[in-house]
Amino acid sequence: MNRPLSSNAQRVQEALRTAGSMALVHEFDQACRTSAEAATVLGCNIAQIAKSVIFRGCMSGRSILVITSGAQRVDTAKVAQLAGESPAKADPDFVREHTGFVIGGVAPLAHTKPGLVLMDETLLTFPTVFPAGGTPQALFEIAPAELVRVSGARVADVIEART
């Protein structure tokens, strides 16, 4: 964990620093591509993993980033209402083109083509959360309110209701 950061993780670290955040990106030997893998590596609750889900706006073609808890599923109807357009599944090429990151390592900031950013309001219930740091092995710890600030997210109800 004390090795030098890869270029993508370093880009996220610089974006955090530029935004005035003291959060530190760490790269691990184990993969953290999924919320479950990240929670295992960190020894935290899966709900504290702030996963980045990327959609493609059907009309605009812009990216729609939804930052949500690793324990939740995104409600695309709620996202459509907030975005003013339907969200479509983003393929790996779209994700890489718009974020500069691969799926499983998409950070909530430092995107090459920033789009709309929404954040699940349930993440605000935790003292800290853990988003991806630019690679499938990179994560950082941050207070949810600070994540809102550095990502430029609009906080909203974006998750599927539990039945």
Check which CATH number belongs to the domain holding 117 and give it.
3.90.960.10
Question: Residue 110 pLDDT more than 70?
Answer: yes
Contact of 76 with 87, CB cutoff 8 Å: yes
Q: Could you tell me if residue 1 is inside a domain? A: no
pLDDT, one tens digit per residue, over 95-107 is 999 999 999 999 9
pLDDT, one tens digit per residue, over 1-28 is 457 899 999 999 999 999 999 999 999 9
What is the reported pLDDT for 163? 58
Q: Could you tell me if residue 59 is inside a domain? A: yes
Residue 100 falls in which region: left (phi positive, over 0), alpha (psi -120 to 50) or beta = left
**Total domains, the chain:** 1
Q: Could you tell me if residue 162 is inside a domain? A: no
In whole angstroms, how far apart are CA 99 and each of 15, 65, 87, 129, 138? 13, 9, 16, 20, 15
Q: Could you tell me if residue 11 is inside a domain? A: yes
Q: Could you tell me if residue 38 is inside a domain? A: yes
Give bridge partners of residue 74 from the DSSP assignment.
Answer: 159
CA atoms lying within 13 Å on the CB side of residue 124: 12
What is the pTM (predicted TM-score) of this model?
0.95
Q: Could you tell me if residue 13 is inside a domain? A: yes
Q: Could you tell me if residue 33 is inside a domain? A: yes
Q: Could you tell me if residue 163 is inside a domain? A: no
Domain enclosing residue 46, as ranges: 7-156
